[in-house]
Amino acid sequence: TAGHRIVHHLRAINREVNAVKEIAEQEKQNPQRTLRLGCFPSVCACILPAVIRYFEIHHPNIKIIPFEENSTAIIDSLQNESIDAGVVHFPVSGMYSVPIYQDKFTVVLPPNHALAKNSTITVEELMGEPLIISKGRYELSIMALFKEKNITPQIKYEFNHPDTAISFIRQGLGIALLPELTLKTIADELWSVPLEPTFYRQISLLAKEKPVEGSPLFLLQMCTEQLVVSGKI
The 3-state DSSP class for residue 104 equals: strand
For 231: left if phi > 0, alpha if psi spans -120 to 50, otherwise beta; the answer is left
pLDDT at 59: 96
Q: How confident is the model at residue 25 (pLDDT cuts 50, 70, 90)?
A: low
pLDDT tens, position by position, 62-83: 999 999 998 889 999 999 999 9
Q: For Cα atoms 190, 233, 83, give the angle at the middle one, nearest 5 degrees.
A: 105
pLDDT at 30 over 70: no
pLDDT at 232: 85
pLDDT at 60 over 90: yes
pLDDT at 229 over 70: yes
**Residues near 7 by Cβ (< 8 Å), separated by ≥ 6?**
none
pTM of the predicted model as reported, rounded to 2 decimal places = 0.77
pLDDT tens, position by position, 124-176: 999 999 999 987 667 888 898 999 999 999 999 999 888 899 999 999 999 99
pLDDT at 35: 97
Q: Return phi, psi of residue 206, to 5°.
A: -125, 140
Q: For Cα atoms 170, 171, 173, give the angle at the middle one, nearest 5 degrees.
A: 105
pLDDT at 16: 63
Q: For Cα atoms 81, 135, 172, give the angle at the middle one, nearest 5 degrees.
A: 145
User: In this structure, is the dihedral angle defined by the CA atoms of residues 72, 74, 80 and 85, taken in order, positive or negative?
Assistant: negative
The 3-state DSSP class for residue 231 equals: coil
Half-sphere exposure of 124 (CA within 13 A, CB side): 3
Half-sphere exposure of 43 (CA within 13 A, CB side): 28
User: Do 102-202 and 31-101+203-230 fall under one CATH topology?
Assistant: yes
Q: Where are the domains of the chain?
A: 31-101+203-230, 102-202
Question: 1-15, 31-45, 80-94, 124-138: lowest mean pLDDT where?
Answer: 1-15
pLDDT at 219: 97
Q: Quick one: CATH architecture of 31-101+203-230?
A: 3-Layer(aba) Sandwich (3.40)
DSSP 175: B
Q: How confident is the model at residue 26 (pLDDT cuts 50, 70, 90)?
A: low
Average of per-residue pLDDT values in the chain:
88
Domain 102-202 has CATH 3.40.50.1580: no
2 or 97, higher pLDDT: 97
The 3-state DSSP class for residue 219 equals: helix
CB 201 within 8 A of CB 90: yes
